[in-house]
Structure 1
Amino acid sequence: MSARTYIGSVRVALLDDHALVLKGLVAHLKAYPSLTIAGSSPNSQHFRALLASMPVDVALIDYSLAADDPDGVTLVRSLRAAFPRMKVVVVSAFDDGPLVRRLLAAGAHGFVGKSQDPDDVIRAIDAAMTGRVYVPPALERVLEYGTDPKLSPKETDVIHHLLEGMTVTQIAEKFGRSLKTISAQKSSAFRKLGIGSDNQLYAMRDHVRALEGGAE
């Protein structure tokens, strides 16, 4: 129990669309008597109803949910607006700097990578409850930099045409580049934007278009 540093009880609600991950997190948190599981949910709609029905100190949420759920940055912003006193800690398999910067800028109180020690979740909860921001030690320097990712001109072109409804194959044909090259540029842009699917790209269309404008 040495991971626990905050003195006091904390009510935690969890959101993750993977049942095994959700059950594993709940089981780990239950090992700490001062942490109370207020509830858990596999989707954001049910999760919002849960938060509205009872007091919650910390929301522990997955970044990447099902296709019909908002992306993590959008969800963090909306939760912070709807429940301003509640702390939000994000757990994600995507643990690169650009994503963490965007989540912190959106109002997240902490970030834990899914490859980290489970006790880091406890440390993140405790940090949030004491007014600190937790990020993995390897990513602490992200706090020193700006919050918007820098897309290269070619990455910007690929994202723009994806938003226009073109496929990777069509983009490759249009620019006379190989499919492998366009796919790599798309993957690089997605990493910088902190997203993992086309649906998440479309969900954050306005933010991405603003970045495109800044890159031109």
Structure 2
Amino acid sequence: MSIRLLLADDQALVRGALAALLELEADLEVVAQVGRGDEVVEAARTHAPDVALLDVEMPGLDGIAATAALREACPQVRVLVVTTFGRPGYVRRALEAGASGFVVKDTPAPDLADAVRRVHAGLRVVDPTLAVDSMVSGSSPLTSRETDVLRESRRGGTVADVARALHLSEGTVRNHLSAAIGKTGARTRAEAAGIAVDNGWL
């Protein structure tokens, strides 16, 4: 019996290359490919994969949110996050969302195939360097509201724009931004957002 795979990556070239590499393995079969995070659950329901390989940064729904949605809708499908962005905060958030593994895209093909098999067998697989970095950097110091405000402020709008988008008062937005700047050790909200992105907190 081959292990049925679902691939989700917004870059068609990367998705195709991953599919081609994995299909070389006698026991692996790619049964579905999607380019958006919000297409993952429907594809899983249609094609019944055993393991879903999800990228983190995708339109519609990011890979971490897609992991949570997939685990809720199809708990029998195991998730392996395969991403270019090996940010420590991503590892922790992906595992908390229900992923069984987290590896970076430059993982050698035999190692990636092995990671798929191990995840399918019920084991947890995390890139060792990222696992250590994740433990050292710890979880995000930001509250969920501070995270929302920083994420929204990255769009470049004014405090009033952020307040309107999140249905908050301008004073509340300023307080959350001030707290986020303090917690990240930044000087400006743009710098705070940059630090949060680098750590995988946003």
TM-score range, shorter chain: 0.7 to 0.9
Residues 45-56 of structure 1: matches in 2 within 5 Å? 45-56=38-49
Query: 75, 78, 86: which one pairs with 2:69?
Result: 78
| Residue equivalent to 2:164 | none
Q: Distance in 2 between matches of 1:101 and 1:91?
A: 14
Other-structure match for 1:134: 125
Q: Unmatched 5+ residue regions in structure 1?
A: 1-7, 196-216
CA separation of 1:107/1:181 partners in 2, compared to 1, >3 Å: closer, same or farther?
same
Say if 1:101 and 1:142, in contact at 8 Å, map to a contact too: no
Q: Is the 8 A contact 2:91 2:131 kept in 1?
A: no
Structure 2: segments with no counterpart, 5+ residues:
161-173, 182-186
How far is the alpha carbon of 1:54 from its aligned partner?
Answer: 2.7
**Equivalent AA in structure 1 for residue 46 of structure 2:** S
Match of 1:57 in 2: 50
Q: Secondary structure at the match of 1:89?
A: strand
Greater RCO, 1 or 2 (C-alpha within 8 Å, sep 6+): 1
Q: CA deviation at 1:169?
A: 7.6
2:195 is equivalent to residue 188 of structure 1: yes
Aligned length: 178
Quote the Cα distance in structure 1 between the aligned partners of 2:3 and 2:155: 47
Q: Deviations over 1:149-206 (max 9, x none)?
A: 1249xxx5x96366479837879xx89x9xx8543321101233444xxxxxxxxxxx
Partner of 1:91: 82
Letter in 2 for 1:183: A
Query: Could you say which residue in structure 2 is the equivalent of 1:160?
Result: 149
Q: CA separation of 1:144/1:76 partners in 2, compared to 1, >3 Å: closer, same or farther?
A: same
Cα 1:143–1:24, aligned 2, differ >3 Å: closer, same or farther? same
Aligned to 1:9: 2
Q: Which moved more, 1:80-89 or 1:180-189?
A: 180-189
Looking at structure 2, the residues matched to 17 and 166 of structure 1 have their Cα atoms a distance apart, in angstroms, of 21
Q: TM-score, normalised by structure 1?
A: 0.69
Matched letter for residue 38 of structure 1: V
RMSD: 3.3
TM-score by length of structure 2 reads 0.73
Partner of 2:31: 38
Which residue number in structure 2 is paired with residue 213 of structure 1?
A: none
